[in-house]
Structure 1
Amino acid sequence: MTLPIASARGLVKTYGGGETAVHALAGIDVDFERGRLTATMGPSGSGKSTLMHCMAGLDRPTSGSVVVDGETVSEMSERHLTKLRRNRLGFVFQAFNLVPTLTALENITLPLDIARRPVDRDHLDAVVRAVGLQDRLSHKPGELSGGQQQRVACARALVTRPAVVFADEPTGNLDSSSARDVLGFLRRSVDDLGQSVVMVTHDPTAASYADRVLFLADGRIVDELRDPTAESVLERLAALSRDESAASAARVH
């Protein structure tokens, strides 16, 4: 058995207190597999982004434990968390978060420059080829399309050889063609580079690129799907929606 790249046990995240408290995560146990692409889905407010942010050390859980690549993230000081995020984790967000005054190449190598780590030219070249940006490296973000900007962000996330990449709605701002490019790259990063990726998405087509889809509702994992297709994801979402509607009706009566 290969150890999971990231796991959580009894994960609870509560915002506020008393009667106005919001329970974003309600005691989640989960393992994210090493060398796999895992998608997380659920309705708005289900806790999927909160789960990812707690796993990535961007938000602290109220209780429970988070372990990433053998490190107990939930017990780390801010200083150690900063070091972990800089050296061991990659991030891709819906907003590309590129520095507008830097070229594509400078944006890609920025995490290494900040950490004062040398650039591995062979790995950099492999990542740049994988995202198909060889002829755009001297361009600044304003000279790139949305899809190209997101591919720069993906390359930046991978250039540090992170243990795991966390991607929060990475195709949310992209047209369908650009979205396919980015998802294809994330898929290849798993298949060809052995990367581990955890992706939050609301799009069944995006989820179909994953090895496994987790479904959240009301801060809990309520289902999962292996080897998904867009159609099987849609069917599962529809079934979960029906179950939720039936449960709500039962509570009313």
Structure 2
Amino acid sequence: MDTLAQNPPTGIAAATTDLSKAYGSGDTRVVALDRVGITFREGEFTAIMGPSGSGKSTLMHCAAGLDAFDSGSVRIGTTELGTLDDRQLTRLRRDRIGFIFQAFNLLPTLTALENITLPLTIAGRRADQQWLDRVVAMVGLSQRLDHRPAQLSGGQQQRVAVARALASRPAIVFGDEPTGNLDSRAGGEVLGFLRDSVRELGQTVVMVTHDPVAAGYADRVVFLVDGRLVDEMARPTPDRVLDVMKTFDTRTRTS
């Protein structure tokens, strides 16, 4: 049986159990993740926050199969990443996971539409045209599909990146500071599209951010400090998130 076949819905898009990872050894050893257990529910928008060096991006990269971990487990649906060889892991990332990064990572010689459908093209799959039309309409790119990246603003380029992440109907989309290179207006538009993809399309989104305003678009926020999960907030607002982040700054100064 194909371990990467689409599994029946479990309500859980991804999860980690006792996830640990360290860099270096001896006196230079740094613990990036310390037995982190977290569940990302289907159809939910989760933001990961914490002070600089808290392990936010490491958690996302391990959960997305982009980085190896030392111990514990990671599941996408019911598939354990630790049981997959490199070929299977590459296929899982291609077929079941979408990625949005701070750098737009678009190919300059391709049109917006070609960039959006590139992962499907590489996989030898045809786009579900009805789904693709919905995604393109949601991010407001219907009139820009024949434009190349150089002909688009930064916000429009990141919209292309969002549409590319959603085009294959992945089980989960991971975003690493996806609005970090955008001004507040363009960033707000992109965050709104991510939120709409959850509410209107049933997508699951996990985003690493340092910005309380960005976190306010999420359904919940989880907080990491020194590689440990220390707090969680449902229905966040920027002010509430900022208040929690201030307590981490105080801890850092007094520790």
How far did residue 16 of structure 1 move? 1.5
Q: Name 2:251's counterpart in structure 1.
A: 243
Q: 2:79 aligns with which of 66, 71, 74?
A: 71
The alpha-carbon deviation at position 240 of structure 1 amounts to: 2.4
Shift, 1:76, TM fit: 1.6
The CA RMSD measured in Å over matched residues stands at 1.1
Q: Distance in 2 between matches of 1:37 and 1:93?
A: 16
CA contact under 8 A between 1:61 and 1:74: conserved in structure 2?
Answer: no
Q: 1:14 aligns with which of 11, 15, 22?
A: 22
Q: Does 1:206 align with 2:218?
A: no
Residue 75 of structure 1 deviates from its aligned partner by 2.7
Q: How high is the TM-score relative to the length of structure 2?
A: 0.95
Report what 1:82 is aligned to. 90
Cα deviation digits, residues 172-219 of structure 1 (max 9, x gap) = 000011001100000000000000000000000000000100011100
**Within 5 Å, which residues of 2 pair with 1:1-253?**
3-246=11-254, 248=255
C-alpha distance in structure 2 between counterparts of 1:235 and 1:67, whole Å: 32
1:251 match: none
What letter matches 1:232 in structure 2? R
TM-score normalised by the chain length of structure 1: 0.95
**SS state at 1:134 partner:** coil
Amino acid at match of 2:149: P
Q: Distance in 1 between matches of 2:27 and 2:243?
A: 35
Do the aligned partners of 2:51 and 2:248 also contact (CA within 8 Å) in 1? no
Separation of aligned partners in 2, 1:210 and 1:142? 30
Q: Provide the secondary structure at the position in 2 that maps to 1:122.
A: helix
Q: CA deviation at 1:34?
A: 1.1
Unaligned runs of 5+ in 1: 249-253
TM-fit CA distance, 1:60:
0.7
1:19 deviation in Å? 1.8
- Structure 2 spans left out of the alignment, 5+ residues: 1-8
Alignment partners' CA distance in 1, 2:127 and 2:10: 29
Count of residue pairs the alignment pairs up: 247
| Offset at residue 17 of structure 1 (A) | 1.4
What is residue 5 of structure 2 aligned with on the other side?
Answer: none
CA–CA distance in 1 between the matches of 2:173 and 2:37? 20
Matches of 1:75 and 1:44 in 2, distance apart?
31
Q: Tell me, yes or no, if the aligned pair for 1:57 and 1:74 is still in contact at 8 Å.
A: no
Q: Partner letter of residue 67 of structure 1?
A: R
- 2:53 and 2:83 map into 1 onto residues whose CA distance is 26
Question: Which residue identity does 1:139 align to in structure 2?
Answer: H
Secondary structure at the aligned position of 1:241 is classed as helix
CA distance in 2, matches of 1:134, 1:35: 25
Rounded Cα–Cα distance in structure 1 between residues aligned with 2:207 and 2:34? 20
Residue 2 of structure 1 and its aligned partner are, at CA, apart by 5.3
